[in-house]
Structure 1
Amino acid sequence: MPGYIEDRWMSKRVDPETGKKWRKEQYGKGLRYRVCGIPGVKDESFAALADAKTWLASAQTDSRRGDYIDPRLGQITLRMYIETIWWPARRDPMTTGQSMKSKIWNHILPHLGHLPLALIDSEHLRAWLATLRDKKLAESTIEVIWIHLTTILKTAVGKRIVKNPCTEMSDERPNGAGDTKARAWTADQVRGLRAALPDRYQAAVDLGVMAGLRQGEAFAFSPDDIDEEAGFLHIRRQLQWDPSKPYLKLPKGNKERDIPLSPGLLKALRAHIDVHPPTLRTLPWRGPGNGERATATVSLLLTSAFGNPIHSSGNTGFNELIWKRALVSIGLIKPRDDVEGWEPSRELMFHRCRHTYASVQLGYREDPVSLSHWMGHASPDVTFKTYAHFMPDQGQRGRTAVDAWLAA
C-alpha cells in the first residue's frame, strides 16, 4: 500500500563506525515525522510517531476509497471561501444575484464568516438560526437564507469538507412554507393600487393583471408587440439588469408566447400611449432569439421619468420607491418603526398581478392548458400545481360523478 513515514531528524541507515543513526541537518527543527507518498494526498507532519502512524492508516483507507480530503483545505474561513471562490464563480441574473448577495452578506457572513469550513457544525447552525429569529426575520426569509448556505457548503463537499452540516439538520431546517397557495388581488385592490401609482407606471398593472406578464416582460413590452388584427399580445422579450446595466433576453424558458388581447387591455394601452409615447432604446441582447445580433432596438412602452429602462431592484429601484409606496398608500403595508423601509411584503409584489390574472381566468373556467401557454409555464403541470385552488367547484362535481354514472 502506498505511503510511508519519514523521520526528518534521523537517518534510516546507521553509521558503520558507531553503529548508530546519525542526525540530519534539520535535526530539532519542525515536526519530526512526515507522512509521504500517498497518491492525491499532501504530506502531513507530526511530532509523535504514534500520531503519524494513525494518520497514515486513515489516509491510506480514504485514498483507496477516493474519500480523502486534505484537512488543511477546510481551514479556509467561510467568508474567504465565499468572497474569493464561490461568489466570483456565480453568474446569476441581477435581480436574483442582488437578493442573494444581500442575504449572504447581511445574514450569513456576519455570524458564520469567521469560522473555518471544517469547523461549522450543528451547534453553530442552531445558534445562528436563533440569532436570525431574534431579528424578527420572517420564517420564509430565514428559509431562503438557509438554502443559500446549504448551496454554498454543498460546493465544498468532497473538496474541502467531508459532509454538508446543513444536510445533517434536515429535521431542524427552517420551514417558511406555511400556506404556500398563490394569492390574488381583489378587484378593489387592483383599482386602488393602480390609482396609487404614478400614471406613467399604471400600464404595468394592466399588463400584469390583464395579461399575466412577469415584471421583466412588462418593462420590456413594446407597442409593436400589440397585434390588434389577430387580437393577441406577442411576448418576445424581458428586461434584466447586470448589475447596473440593462439588457434584453427571451422570456423565461427562452420561449416567446402569444396572449389573448382583451378589449379592456387594448383600451388601457392606447390611453397610456397617448399620454406617454413609447421611448426608442437600443439595448444589449443576451442569449438566443435575436438572430445572433448583439443589440436590439425596442420602443419601450414603460420607462422611468427620464425615459430610461426601469430598474426594478435595489434601494432606489421601482419595487422599493414606487411599488411599496403605493402599497403603503392603500394600507396594505406600513413603514417599519425600527429601521428605514417597509414591512415585509414578499406576497404583495408585482408577481401577485400575475396570480390575479390566473385566478380570474380559472374562475371563468378557462382551459388550464391554454392558460399554461399564455403564462409561459414549462408545462400544464406547473399551472395545476400553482393555481388549482383557483378553480371553482374543485372536487364538488366529483362527489356525485360515480353515482350519476352508475345510475345512467
Structure 2
Amino acid sequence: MAAGYIEDRWLNKRPDPETGKRKRTARWGKGKRYRVAGIPGVRDASFDTLEDAKTWKSTAETDSRRLTWMDPRAGEMTLRTYVEDIWWPGRSDPTNTAGPMRSKIWNHILDPIGHLQLRQIDEEALRQWLKGRREKGRLGESTLEVVWIHLGSILGSTVGKRLAANPCQAHIHLRPTGGGETKARAWSADEFTDIRSRMRERYRITADLGLHAGLRQAEMIGFSLDDIDEAAMVINLRRQLLWANGTTPYLKLPKGKKERQIPLSPGLLKLLREHEERFPPVEITLPWEGPGNGKRETATVPLLVTTEWRNRLNPSGYNQRVLKPALAAAGLIPAKGEEGWGWSGSREEMFHRFRHTYASVQLRTEPPVAVSKWMGHASPEITYRVYAHFIPDDGWRGRAAVDDWLGAGKSQNSPDSPRIDRSGRSD
C-alpha cells in the first residue's frame, strides 16, 4: 500500500537550478500551507503547520491500513439535516409506530439540538440536552429514556460513515433509567365496579371487554360481534383499530400480526348482547394496513362500540371524555386541573389496567402458558416477566411436597406393604 505524502503548497517541489532554492508559488501566503495526500481511501487534508500535517498523516495512514479511517469532515453535517434527509426517509416503520416516534424525535431531539453538527454531539452536549428536557418537568424519565434510545439509534447509524463511534454508547452512563421497574397493578373488584358505574351507559361495555377478555384498547375499539363464536364460546380476535397521527383511522391485525382466540365467559356474552340491543353496531369501512386481509385494501366491519354520533372511537377522545372522568370521579386519579393541566393519569392507570386485572384473575387458576396465548403475548416469558407477582405462590405448597412424598414412602413400607430393600427388590 502506497504511503501518503506532505506537499508544501507555498514552495515549488524542485529547487531552482541556479540558486538551489525552492521558489515561492502563486499560493504563497494564501490558505493553509501543507497538504496531506496520497493515502488510499482518505481525502486530502490541509494544515497550517508541518507538525500538524505529520501527526494527521501518521494517524490517517494507520487507520487506512486497519480499514477504520473516518474523515472528521463527514461529521460536519447537522443532526437535523442527517435525520430529515437521510435517516428518516430510509425508515419504513408501521404507521402506529412512526407517528409517536416522529413526534418524539422532532420535538425532543431536533428542536433542541438539531442545529449541532454530528461531531459536536459529545458528553457535554448530551448533558445539556438531558438537563433541558428535564427542566420544569418537560419529560418524565420513562419518556426521556425512549427519546435517548431514538437518539442512540440515529447516531448509531452514522458509525463508520460520519462518526467513528456512537456518542450515546460512548457515554452510556448518562442514559436515563426510566421510572424504575414497577409491577403491573390490577383494579380491585370494588374499584372496577365503581369505575364502570361512573361511565355513560353506552361506554360501559368498553370496561367489560378489557376486564372479561383482556383486550388492548385498540382491540376493544375495533371489536365486532362477528368475532364471537357462541357455539364454541370463544372470541376470535381479528383486528385492532388504530389512528395515524391521531387523525386517520385504519385497521390491521392485533399486535404481533396474528389473530388469537380468547375464552368467552357467559357473563361477558350476556353483557355484549344487552349492549347490542340498546346500542346497535355501526358498519364502517376503513383502510387495512399490512397482512391479514387478503389483497383487499379496505375492510368493512360492524363495530360494537361507537360514539353518541355513531362514529368510531378515537382513543384520545375516549380517554379524555369517558375514562379519565370516570377514574377521577372514583377517586383513582386526580381531578381535572388539580396539577395545573388537564386530566392526569399514566398508561398504567388507564385502560391497560383492565387488561392487568384480567391477567391477575386468570392467573389465579389458569396456567401462564394459556393466559399468555389469550392475551396475545409473543411468548409465555413475557407473561411471567410482567405478571409473575399475580401467580399464586406455589412455594407454600412446595414446602410440604417432600415431606408428603416421604410420608407416602413410609406408608408404603408399613407392615401391610411389601418392604423395599436397597437393590429395589421387594420381599
Does the alignment reach a TM-score above 0.5?
Answer: yes
Matched, 1:284 2:266: no
1:338 CA drift (Å): 6.2
Q: Tell me which amino acid in the other structure corresponds to 1:166.
A: C
Runs of at least 5 residues in structure 2 that lack an aligned partner in the other structure: 409-427
> What SS does structure 2 have at the residue aligned with 1:299?
strand
Alignment of 1:127-142 (within 5 A): 127-136=128-137, 137-142=139-144
Residues 218-248 of structure 1 show CA distances to partners (whole Å, capped at 9, x for unaligned) of: 1111111111111111111122233332222
Alignment of 1:310-329 (within 5 A): 310-313=313-316, 317-329=317-329
Q: Cα–Cα, structure 1 residues 27 and 116, in superposed 2: closer, same or farther, change >3 Å?
A: same
**Whole-angstrom distance in 1 between the partners of 2:154 and 2:117:** 13
Q: Tell me which amino acid in the other structure corresponds to 1:129.
A: L
**Identity %, equivalent residues:** 58
Alignment of 1:220-231 (within 5 A): 220-231=222-233
Q: Tell me which amino acid in the other structure corresponds to 1:156.
A: T
1:27 CA drift (Å): 4.1
1:379 CA drift (Å): 1.8
Q: Report the counterpart of residue 203 of structure 1 in structure 2.
A: 205
> What SS does structure 2 have at the residue aligned with 1:234?
strand
Contact kept? 2:99, 2:244, Cα under 8 Å: no
Contact kept? 2:324, 2:345, Cα under 8 Å: no
Alignment of 1:5-404 (within 5 A): 5-16=6-17, 19-136=20-137, 137-243=139-245, 244-313=247-316, 317-334=317-334, 335-336=336-337, 339-363=340-364, 365-404=365-404
Q: Cα–Cα, structure 1 residues 401 and 130, in superposed 2: closer, same or farther, change >3 Å?
A: farther
Q: Cα–Cα, structure 1 residues 270 and 60, in superposed 2: closer, same or farther, change >3 Å?
A: same
Q: Cα–Cα, structure 1 residues 83 and 202, in superposed 2: closer, same or farther, change >3 Å?
A: farther
> What SS does structure 2 have at the residue aligned with 1:156?
coil
1:154 CA drift (Å): 1.9
Aligned Cα RMSD in Å? 2.5
1:389 CA drift (Å): 1.0
1:181 CA drift (Å): 1.6
1:24 CA drift (Å): 4.1
Contact kept? 1:10, 1:23, Cα under 8 Å: yes
1:210 CA drift (Å): 0.6
Identify which range, 379-388 or 84-93, moves more after superposition: 84-93
1:359 CA drift (Å): 0.6
Identify which range, 205-214 or 332-341, moves more after superposition: 332-341
Q: Cα–Cα, structure 1 residues 28 and 339, in superposed 2: closer, same or farther, change >3 Å?
A: farther
Contact kept? 1:93, 1:241, Cα under 8 Å: no
1:23 CA drift (Å): 4.3
- Give the TM-score normalised by the residue count of structure 2: 0.85
Residues 358-396 of structure 1 show CA distances to partners (whole Å, capped at 9, x for unaligned) of: 111012x11222111111112222212221211123422
> What SS does structure 2 have at the residue aligned with 1:255?
coil
**Whole-angstrom distance in 1 between the partners of 2:199 and 2:88:** 36
Q: Report the counterpart of residue 4 of structure 1 in structure 2.
A: 5
1:25 CA drift (Å): 4.2
Work out the number of aligned pairs and report it.
404
Q: Cα–Cα, structure 1 residues 312 and 93, in superposed 2: closer, same or farther, change >3 Å?
A: farther
1:47 CA drift (Å): 1.7
**Whole-angstrom distance in 2 between the partners of 1:49 and 1:318:** 69
**Whole-angstrom distance in 2 between the partners of 1:341 and 1:82:** 33
Q: Report the counterpart of residue 411 of structure 2 in structure 1.
A: none
Q: Cα–Cα, structure 1 residues 344 and 118, in superposed 2: closer, same or farther, change >3 Å?
A: farther
Contact kept? 1:142, 1:174, Cα under 8 Å: yes
**Whole-angstrom distance in 1 between the partners of 2:200 and 2:362:** 27
Name the larger-Rg structure: 2
**Whole-angstrom distance in 2 between the partners of 1:33 and 1:216:** 64
1:87 CA drift (Å): 3.2
Contact kept? 1:93, 1:240, Cα under 8 Å: no
Identify which range, 371-380 or 74-83, moves more after superposition: 74-83
1:301 CA drift (Å): 1.6
Q: Tell me which amino acid in the other structure corresponds to 1:76.
A: M
Q: Cα–Cα, structure 1 residues 306 and 88, in superposed 2: closer, same or farther, change >3 Å?
A: farther
> What SS does structure 2 have at the residue aligned with 1:252?
coil
Q: Tell me which amino acid in the other structure corresponds to 1:395.
A: G
Q: Tell me which amino acid in the other structure corresponds to 1:4.
A: Y
**Whole-angstrom distance in 2 between the partners of 1:307 and 1:42:** 65
Residues 239-291 of structure 1 show CA distances to partners (whole Å, capped at 9, x for unaligned) of: 22333322222112221111111111111111222222222222222222112
Q: Tell me which amino acid in the other structure corresponds to 1:372.
A: S
> What SS does structure 2 have at the residue aligned with 1:396?
helix
**Whole-angstrom distance in 2 between the partners of 1:201 and 1:2:** 76
> What SS does structure 2 have at the residue aligned with 1:12?
coil
Identify which range, 346-355 or 153-162, moves more after superposition: 153-162
Q: Cα–Cα, structure 1 residues 337 and 126, in superposed 2: closer, same or farther, change >3 Å?
A: farther
